[in-house]
Amino acid sequence: MNEDLSLFLNELKKEIEKQLPIHIKKLQAPDTLKEAMFYSLNAGGKRIRPALLLATVKSFGKPLEHGYDMACAIEMIHTYSLIHDDLPAMDDDDLRRGKPTNHKVFGEALAILAGDALLTYSFEVITKMEVGNLTAEQKLLLIQELARASGPEGMVGGQVADMEGENQSLTLDELVYIHHHKTGDLLTVAIIAGAIIAGASKSDIDNLRQFAKELGLMFQIKDDILDVEGDAETIGKPIGSDDGNNKSTYPNLLGLDGAKNKLSEHKLKAETYLSNVNLDQSLLMALTNYVAERDH
């Protein structure tokens, strides 16, 4: 990772992790619920979705603070999905980012409710965004994009397809569908939200949407690769957990070298779409390289 990107990621990570508890503390809700919500929000992680959103805002020449609330809203959606993914009825994981999963600490019922609360609260956060003087139409677009990306046509649909694909030999197209929606749509909405907040043109948003789709596939392919050859302590979960859960992955379908080649193909496509966008491309290009080369 280059020095400028490392500095950017570290600074925004600190800022988002300062902003997230502010949103939770202001809630008039049971303390146990707020504690469970914040436990998973505060579990660390790459903060790649806030990074993509804020990098897009910055690349269009707008102040980073214009995107803080939206970045928090997307991180709430992402965190809710992780809490629910880890439940016994889903992936049945005991660890997330090296820490006990939410249901292991708070019990299944409160974990489910903490996820529900993060999901619904995220949209309220968007309605109350004040920094950046967004219009009502921009806020409506942000809500529409996030709802679609996280709902039945997006992340939830992808999760269902992923669940139904267990113990089956999926085709590459079926695997791409799962990855596009389970992981890619929420990464895409982070970039599109940054563009909406920055007042980008329709042409730039269209190209960024295609760029983000390629980036989302890269992200999931890299996750699949790390599940084979990563370090358990670095990635915060046992190596080979996908095999243990009988999940179809790129390495299973294409072999490890084939998965790496596919990652390179999508990286080239992502770079091509990004080159057509009228912004400072350096930061998003550096993030593209980071997604392809990360070790966790």
| Domains, the chain | 3-293 (1.10.600.10)
CB under 8 Å to 103, separation ≥6 — which residues?
Answer: 83, 86, 87, 88, 110, 111, 112
CA distance 198 to 57: 6
Q: What is the pLDDT of residue 44?
A: 78
Q: What is the pLDDT of residue 235?
A: 47
Nearest to 19 by CA among 61, 70, 55, 56: 70
Q: What is the pLDDT of residue 231?
A: 61
Q: What is the pLDDT of residue 230?
A: 65
Strand partners, 100: 95
98 phi and psi angles, rounded to 5 deg:
80, 0
**Over the chain (296 residues), what is each successive 10-residue block's mean pLDDT?**
83 94 96 97 89 96 96 97 95 90 97 98 96 93 98 96 88 92 94 98 97 94 89 52 65 94 97 97 93 88
Token pair, residue 255, equals 């072999």
H or E stretch covering 181: none
Q: What is the pLDDT of residue 3?
A: 74
Share of the chain above pLDDT 90, in %: 80
Q: Give the strand pairing for 99-100 and 95-96.
A: antiparallel
CA distance 47 to 215: 15
* Start-end of H helices in the chain: 3-25, 31-41, 48-59, 68-85, 102-106, 108-127, 136-150, 155-164, 172-179, 185-198, 202-229, 232-235, 241-244, 250-275, 282-293
CA distance 88 to 84: 9
H or E stretch covering 95: strand 95-96
